[in-house]
Structure 1
Amino acid sequence: MGEQLRRRGGGASGWGGGGGLIILGLFLHGVYIAQLTPERLLSGMGRLGGFLSQAIPPDLTRASNFFWAILVTFEMALVGTVIGVLLSLPVALLASDNTSPNRLVRNITRNTVAAVRTIPDLVWALIFVVAIGLGPAAGILTIAVDNLGFCGRFFSERIEELEPGPVEALSSTGASQLGIILGAIFPCAFPSFVATSLYAVEKSIRSAVVLGLVGAGGIGVELSTSMRLFRYDQALTIIVMIWLVVTASEQVSTQIRRRVI
């Protein structure tokens, strides 16, 4: 037995050493192809100083336009997240071991959610821009699909972690499957669902800004335009407004989580 353990330990150590060398090699190769040299970093710091000198003070002449654009960005994130969360609830039930009707449905649902989750949101944005055109609608659909993969996974895991007691108690009274879901599963998982959904909103607001850079509407379009026209003073105004909105959303989300959980 001791000899077998030593052999297993030696094998694991060998795999660990080999894996470490591979990761180290990939890291060094990544640094090399990125050309992260001290000279390049110092040169970049100089150009960053030039950017700041042109960006400060920020230009507020178009602040009202930017306000409406960032409102669109927030609404994109909110609507997309709500749609994604609502779609995630039935998907999570189908993907969970203790609520799925059978193994085939569970595996198909899990694989579908995994496939959706592995595709970056920028790729989804490009697909929807091609499908339905430029504008917030493409951004909303992108965020909805992205949150379907994100929330679907975490909702499913939370449902599987639930204690069986409440479910068994309702089952013993002859409650239907729908009654068990509404009376035991959802109430027990509700705090976790809320926490995950609030985090999804925070994530979606940041994503919505980036989605605008590829034509999905919102403040990202204004930011991209300002940078292309070298209007760095306007770009700084947009960046500050984005920071304020993201910070405010995180504070509100934190307060809601504290009250619910």
Structure 2
Amino acid sequence: MSAPVSNAVRPVSGAAGQHELPPRFRAPRWSSVLVLAVMLGLSVQGLLRMDISWSRAMQGPSNVWDFFMNSVPPNVGRFENLALLMLETLEIALIGTIIGVVLSLPAALIAARNTTPWLPLAWFMRLVLTTLRSVPDLVWALIFVMAVGLGPLAGILAIAVDVLGFAGRFFAERIEEIERGPMDAVRSTGASGAAVVVGAVLPAAFASFTATSLYCLEKSIRGATILGMVGAGGIGMELTPAFNLRQYDTALMIIILILVVVLAAEQLSSTVRKRMLGADQLTRAM
């Protein structure tokens, strides 16, 4: 008696009785080819239209080297003033992030399809969040500088709007990923919609909300530096004059302060994630 043929090694036949090729050997779809052709065409057309000077590109490394040679050692004589401006930048980022995150929670509850009171309202809120997210934070800073004048308030408002558009989207997506079991269990007790949110939605999404909020804080610290260049307060207001006046040692001191603060924020985010996930979750499995 011959041994039975295993299904794992049985060839798969197509409609014509021929073996089907693995997906990696099949011809791509015409839509994929069209998208790739359009992207390549735009890239080639952009290189030709922008008239990029390769001689200037080759001079870039030497100019960067000159910058570092002229900026070392950094200007520590202005450390106290620059540190105060860096503290102002951190405060702008922190306040703006808190405002944006607080506003993102009700916006996400409205935008999520499983918690919204009315589906068209969810579509409208998603459109609002997309609009806020699509406009760069630098443009928001220019708008608020025109609206409220120069200073930290414009930076705080710009960061709050940017965080609202960013965090609102991810909060809404996380809410939609929550299993319906806990929500239905709370609803079965006759609880109101607010009780369902407090008792089922927020506990299930708290870890994701925290991670997203910490990432927004890191992003806001870097963004607040750039916003200062257009008059929105913080250390960025000193960075532009330092480069324009070729005070590279002061510029390097500012860059070092920014690097230290951003690294500290990333370390804080990593520590919080470890506390929330637990050491076992982050231990290598193999």
Q: How many residues align?
A: 255
The 5 Å alignment of 1:116-127 reads: 116-127=132-143
Matched position secondary structure for 2:145: helix
Aligned to 1:231: 247
Separation of aligned partners in 1, 2:158 and 2:81 = 24
Match of 1:132 among 148, 157, 170: 148
Aligned to 2:94: 78
Shift of 1:29: 2.8
Separation of aligned partners in 1, 2:131 and 2:147 = 20
Aligned to 2:234: 218
Shift of 1:208: 0.4
Separation of aligned partners in 2, 1:79 and 1:2 = 63
Opposite residue 105 of structure 1, the aligned amino acid is L
Aligned to 1:7: none
Whether 1:163 aligns to 2:163 is no
**131-140 vs 165-174, which deviates more?**
165-174
Shift of 1:33: 4.2
Opposite residue 149 of structure 1, the aligned amino acid is G
Separation of aligned partners in 1, 2:59 and 2:133 = 38
Distance 1:248 1:63, change over 3 A: same
Separation of aligned partners in 2, 1:35 and 1:47 = 21
Aligned to 1:64: 80
Please give the per-residue CA displacement for 1:5-29, whole angstroms capped at 9, x wherever unaligned: xxxxx99622222221211122223
Please give the per-residue CA displacement for 1:138-165, whole angstroms capped at 9, x wherever unaligned: 0000000000000000000000000111
Whichever structure has more helix as a proportion of its residues is: 1
The 5 Å alignment of 1:76-225 reads: 76-225=92-241
Separation of aligned partners in 1, 2:159 and 2:15 = 54
Shift of 1:257: 1.3
Shift of 1:104: 1.7
Q: TM-score, normalised by structure 1?
A: 0.93
Separation of aligned partners in 2, 1:15 and 1:179 = 47
Opposite residue 23 of structure 1, the aligned amino acid is M
Whether 1:19 aligns to 2:28 is no
Between 1 and 2, higher relative CO (CA 8 Å, sep ≥ 6) is seen in 1
Shift of 1:38: 4.0
Separation of aligned partners in 1, 2:49 and 2:253 = 34
Separation of aligned partners in 1, 2:229 and 2:50 = 23
Please give the per-residue CA displacement for 1:220-243, whole angstroms capped at 9, x wherever unaligned: 011112111111110001001111
Name stretches of at least 5 consecutive residues in structure 2 with no aligned partner: 1-13, 17-25, 278-286
Please give the per-residue CA displacement for 1:111-157, whole angstroms capped at 9, x wherever unaligned: 11111111111110000000000111000000000000000000000
Separation of aligned partners in 2, 1:11 and 1:175 = 55
Please give the per-residue CA displacement for 1:158-189, whole angstroms capped at 9, x wherever unaligned: 00000111111111111111111111111111
Separation of aligned partners in 1, 2:32 and 2:120 = 36
Give RMSD over aligned pairs.
1.8
Please give the per-residue CA displacement for 1:74-115, whole angstroms capped at 9, x wherever unaligned: 111110000000000000000011110111211111111111
- Runs of 4+ aligned residues of structure 1 deviating over 6 Å after TM superposition are none
Aligned to 1:6: none
**215-224 vs 46-55, which deviates more?**
46-55
Shift of 1:35: 4.4
Bigger Cα Rg: 2
Separation of aligned partners in 2, 1:122 and 1:178 = 36
Aligned to 1:245: 261
